[in-house]
A = this chain, B = another copy of it.
Amino acid sequence: MNIAEKIRSKGIKATPQRQLVYEVLEGLGHAPIDEITRKVRAANPCITVATVYRILDSFQEAGLISYLNHPNGKSYYDITPDVHHHIYMDNNEILDYTDEELTELIKKRLQTGKFKDLAIEQVSVQIFAKNKPQK
């Protein structure tokens, strides 16, 4: 499935601007809006910031990408639409950490004790790490 098809598969129109934004985010994996905007405008300076905002928003709305709750407070987007955990590296890199078993384990853990009366909807683990120094 090419990019235009991916976009259309979510029921939204595959304009050239949207295809470019998707392509840029795909190349980055996770990225803050300003970086996406910079790369998009490098490829096509006619595309305005407002358009990039609107496109990312519509992608997220459509479930094509996801919004990332980055600890540094900036708005990030993630090319992967489904919820998963993240590892935030010292050097600003972001790694995906998919671990369904851990998610289930946390949910179960909450079902006992103090919080057993809550209906858990989502669990997201944020890990802060750095590379171990080379020996």
**Hey, which bits of chain A sit against chain B, CB under 8 A?**
69-71, 73, 75, 87, 89, 95, 97, 99, 102, 105-106, 109-110, 115, 117-132
In this complex, which of A117, A123, A131 has the most chain B Cβ atoms within 10 angstroms of its Cβ? A123
Pairwise interchain contact B127-A126, C-beta atoms closer than 8 A: no
Specify how many copies of this chain sit in the oligomer.
2
Q: Taking the nearest CB of chain B, how far is it from the CB of A32, in angstroms? A: 12
A126 to B103, CA, bound (A): 11
Given contacts A89-B118, A120-B127, 18 further A-B contacts (CB under 8 A): A69-B70, A69-B71, A69-B73, A87-B118, A99-B109, A102-B109, A106-B125, A110-B129, A115-B129, A117-B131, A118-B130, A118-B131, A120-B129, A122-B127, A122-B128, A123-B125, A124-B128, A125-B125
